[in-house]
Structure 1
């Protein structure tokens, strides 16, 4: 399944990603310390694990319902058979080489036949068989090169109990068919739930190319997308410091790092104005504000009484943060005044997703578990009023939960919605009178994530339970083409 999608701005990614350096001894020890309990420990603490898992209850409706397979026993049987075959093969090979009499050979070279001594060269440059080595290297670099006009998309994916980040390339092409492929991927240790791209220069320079990942674990990992085959995140925010096994029938003792979340991280939002700032929402009911450059938590807010599913910074006023919760509320707060109770917007069901309108600084949308979308104007939040804040409109958009929404960055009032009912819809929200202008079943299964790109505004990336990234060219829809033409004409007339 694909749980989350993030676009990388064009021209940001390195043309040829660097190769990862092998971890140091200290890093290996750190990995082992932070690793999962051994199988024997898990067996001893089965009951404790079960109780802990029940506490980590996170929107399980989003997981695939595939039947479980006992991979462990199957792999063990295969390993035993391979071991037997390998032992036999090695025995035969050693007998054939007659290693007991190896020292009796004059120079060892006779093992391979006479006349091969002339094939030794003082350096690789003198070897004629390696004369095209540089050409091969350049061809390999060209194959892995990311061009400035290529679009880069990062998918947080889980398949067969393996979680990873897939870095997709969408080549700039005038062809009707889109050329897409996975450039490289990054194995991550936990089931991913959300992502946020950020360019804070964590390794020096002016900007970087990083992806923050929230997962079923309490830690937030930040990975460098410009490194291939990386095994360690660049930064880890929070997480488990120590895990001790308990006696049979008792829970494990878990010690968390300072200011860490204590449950799954469900929502992330990077602040484009204050580029070192990242907001996170968790199943532990809290919202945290992190400084990713120092790896520290600057603020923890506990205003919600249930899991926090989504967080969103206001692009016009970057100190203003929205947080949406399973407690059926959206809270607006100025993080400069954390002691202020903020403004609460009540909604009809559990919050799935939040988005600010990029063309109206006072408006935001919230999508819900019951398939509806609600629009609010924050100017309706009157400090002196105790009455409930009324929405601009409420739209029954889908038959099941609306997991993801995305505003088109170019055409005002154009919204995409993705749902567990396996459909993706495009909406015209003009004049607060929403109308559906296109519907598609992208064959992605239950849809968990939809996302427009600033660089490719008419391409909608779609991810769902089937685990295959889908792309919808929305200009292929007559209604969208007509709406864009109207927008273009209006823009041209204003510019005259």
Structure 2
């Protein structure tokens, strides 16, 4: 364990094609998606048409647990690309180029098990690449300002920050005592992380992650997001169905340090995912294993439910607002299906948040299945 954090010195961050194959039937085609396949599906939504179709599929090495889109092109940092980082049950982070169809292997990988195994008498174990996680990758966050920086959270109780240009781990943070479920960049230099140790940690990366402030929460952390409309606020969802908001300025305050701005009993079961509408202040979506998706108005730090939906997806694992069309909310659940909800089609949402915006048809259709 003494060599656990052997990252490269001197690195400073904060100062092929598959070809056309033919099969006689779908049963013979190994690339047809099955319910238990380890695949990440790229969906496209036809503008103005409430139907989704599979644009292409990506075969993964293990079951996916988290993703983060990014535009950083390792081959040319100035030229923006279209990439997705995928964390799986493995300690490996796979980076896939979404502009390439029928790729059979990742563009590159971060960490993972080394192919060169060391033989130790009387011992069996894996040999990891330098700087790699030791367990499943549970959360990912791309830094949109320092574009070659990617943060990862793991079941090995650590948070790592990676330099995408070099493909190496810059720093390993060990501020938690249990699995780290979620990470989010509050600013280009400040990183938040949420853990099953029932704490939120805020780390200043300008001093290599040495400075850390923590907030206690009442249950295991499920999801963590920063408010894009308030530079001081972040929201966390918990395993007990609660959602709490905090002000980062309490990190330097002696009065009631760590007290939440509000505590909301949002769902009856774990709140697995939360998402802020990118261009609409105080508009938050929550998804839960109680099978419900809810929309909230957080005005004046007094949350109120604006609308709710059972999208018939089973337990909800992920909700995410679209950046390009900010009232579209994508939802994914345990049934292996996706739905896109045009939240502006709800009268209460349109009345509260949609003034001056054009209404669009409700997009609640499942993608076509064979």
Aligned position for 2:172 = 300
Aligned position for 1:480 = 349
CA contact (8 A) 1:245 1:252 kept: no
In structure 1, C-alpha distance between the alignment counterparts of 2:59 and 2:247, rounded to whole Å: 41
CA shift, 1:214, in A, is: 0.3
Aligned position for 2:241 = 371
CA RMSD of aligned residues (A): 2.3
| More divergent stretch after superposition (262-271 vs 205-214) | 205-214
CA shift, 1:382, in A, is: 1.9
Report the 3-state secondary structure (helix = DSSP H, G, I; strand = E; otherwise coil) of the residue aligned with 1:342.
Answer: strand
CA shift, 1:21, in A, is: 6.1
Aligned position for 2:43 = 168
Residue 216 of structure 1 is aligned with which of 73, 89, 99?
A: 89
CA contact (8 A) 2:344 2:354 kept: no
Larger Rg: 1
Structure 1 unpaired stretches of 5+: 1-18, 23-77, 80-157, 489-496
- 1:421 matched to 2:290? The reply is yes
Report the 3-state secondary structure (helix = DSSP H, G, I; strand = E; otherwise coil) of the residue aligned with 2:144.
Answer: coil
Aligned position for 1:412 = 281
CA shift, 1:339, in A, is: 5.1
Report the 3-state secondary structure (helix = DSSP H, G, I; strand = E; otherwise coil) of the residue aligned with 2:90.
Answer: coil
| More divergent stretch after superposition (161-170 vs 267-276) | 161-170
CA contact (8 A) 2:233 2:246 kept: yes
CA contact (8 A) 1:271 1:278 kept: yes
- 1:182 matched to 2:54? The reply is yes
Q: For residues 292-441 of structure 1, what are the structure 2 equivalents within 5 Å? A: 292-314=164-186, 317-338=187-208, 340-382=210-252, 385=254, 388-441=257-310
Aligned position for 1:229 = 102
CA shift, 1:160, in A, is: 4.2
CA, structure 1 residues 339+309, in 2 after alignment: closer, same or farther (shift >3 Å)?
closer
CA shift, 1:340, in A, is: 3.0
Q: For residues 254-269 of structure 1, what are the structure 2 equivalents within 5 Å? A: 254-269=126-141
- 1:271 matched to 2:143? The reply is yes
Structure 2 unpaired stretches of 5+: 1-15, 20-26, 358-370
Aligned position for 1:89 = none
CA, structure 1 residues 203+404, in 2 after alignment: closer, same or farther (shift >3 Å)?
same
In structure 2, C-alpha distance between the alignment counterparts of 1:475 and 1:388, rounded to whole Å: 38
CA shift, 1:226, in A, is: 0.8
TM-score w.r.t. length of structure 1? 0.63
Q: Greater helix share, 1 or 2? A: 1
Q: Greater strand share, 1 or 2? A: 2
CA shift, 1:341, in A, is: 3.6
Residue 20 of structure 1 is aligned with which of 17, 31, 36?
A: 17
TM-score w.r.t. length of structure 2? 0.84
Aligned position for 1:72 = none
CA contact (8 A) 2:200 2:217 kept: yes
CA contact (8 A) 2:313 2:337 kept: yes
CA contact (8 A) 1:244 1:252 kept: no
CA, structure 1 residues 486+431, in 2 after alignment: closer, same or farther (shift >3 Å)?
farther
CA contact (8 A) 2:184 2:225 kept: yes
Report the 3-state secondary structure (helix = DSSP H, G, I; strand = E; otherwise coil) of the residue aligned with 1:360.
Answer: coil
Kindly tell me the number of residue pairs found equivalent between the two proteins: 329
Q: For residues 43-62 of structure 1, what are the structure 2 equivalents within 5 Å? A: none
CA shift, 1:201, in A, is: 1.2
